[in-house]
Amino acid sequence: MSELNEPQERADKPAPGVSDAENAKAEESAAQREAPSEDTTAETEDAPATQASEGETEEAPKDKQEEEVPSTDQIIGKLGDDLARAKADLYNLNNEYQSYVRRSKADIPAHKTAGQLDVLESLLSVLDDIYGARTAGDLKDGPFAAIAQKLEETLQNRFGLERYGAEGDHFDPKLHEALMANESADVSEPTVTQVLQPGYKVGDRVLRATKVMVSNPA
């Protein structure tokens, strides 16, 4: 019996010539080979769960896509709503255009009149020269006198331009601009006693007020 146990005892004893550190390392390696790795076991246990999660992830989008697919009635309803909105927008746009056309037609006469008045106002200085020359006696006859008369008649007959303002007129601040004033016992109300520059008007619209000297009652 002692002989059988002797090999076992010899195996437990450290080999001669081997250090304790080397023996400890050898024993640790043997223990690692015998015991299964905890990390490997954990990975093996987690693998089925991971695969199951991936399977669920792959199946989820399919279910979501199936839920998001609209039905034929929903598509038709949406198209009907879009068509109704488009018709409403077209209706509003057409009304705006018709209103614009009506306003444009209504504004044409006003724009035409404004353009004519601008042209007439630009000719007032020419008419002042004609008036001054006629007052000084330089337009009694001759070609220029005929041209001046024709111009005045055309502006009056075609465009309604009228020269106004004369001595003895009642002074009206809407029609006259007083540049000089005095008092006189010969008048009973403010009266134009001298026209310094004639005024012009078209209908009731004054293009330029007559510049005058006015006499007030003393």
Ordered by start, the domain boundaries in the chain are 160-217
Output the pLDDT for position 141: 85
Statement: residue 133 has pLDDT above 60? yes
pTM above 0.85, yes or no: no
Statement: residue 182 has pLDDT above 50? yes
**Spatial CA neighbour of 103 closest among 115, 93, 95, 114:** 95
Output the pLDDT for position 118: 94
Statement: residue 33 has pLDDT above 50? yes
Return phi, psi of residue 174, to 5°. -75, -20
Output the pLDDT for position 102: 92
Percent of the chain exceeding pLDDT 70 equals 69
Output the pLDDT for position 142: 86
Exposed/middle/buried for 176, CB within 10 Å: 0-12, 13-18, 19+?
buried
CATH class of 160-217: mainly beta
CB neighbour list of residue 171: distance below 8 Å, 6 or more residues apart: 178, 189, 190, 191, 192, 212, 214
Q: Name the pLDDT band for 66 (thresholds 50, 70, 90).
A: low
Statement: residue 146 has pLDDT above 50? yes
Q: Name the pLDDT band for 110 (thresholds 50, 70, 90).
A: confident
Report the alpha-carbon angle 53-54-59, nearest 5.
Answer: 100
Statement: residue 31 has pLDDT above 90? no
Statement: residue 16 has pLDDT above 60? no
Q: How far apart are CA 131 and CA 212, in angstroms?
A: 15
Q: Which segment, 2-6, 24-28, 140-144, is predicted with the most confidence on average? A: 140-144
Report the alpha-carbon angle 81-83-84, nearest 5.
Answer: 65
Average pLDDT over residues 185-211: 94
How much is the mean pLDDT over the chain? 80
Output the pLDDT for position 90: 94
Average pLDDT over residues 140-162: 93
Average pLDDT over residues 78-89: 93
CB neighbour list of residue 187: distance below 8 Å, 6 or more residues apart: 193, 215, 216, 217
Using CA atoms, how far residue 54 sits from 47, 51, 66, 132, in Å, is 11, 5, 19, 106
CB neighbour list of residue 189: distance below 8 Å, 6 or more residues apart: 170, 171, 217
Output the pLDDT for position 74: 87
Statement: residue 106 has pLDDT above 70? yes
Q: How far apart are CA 118 and CA 161, in angstroms?
A: 12
Statement: residue 171 has pLDDT above 90? yes
User: How many residues in total does the chain contain?
Assistant: 218
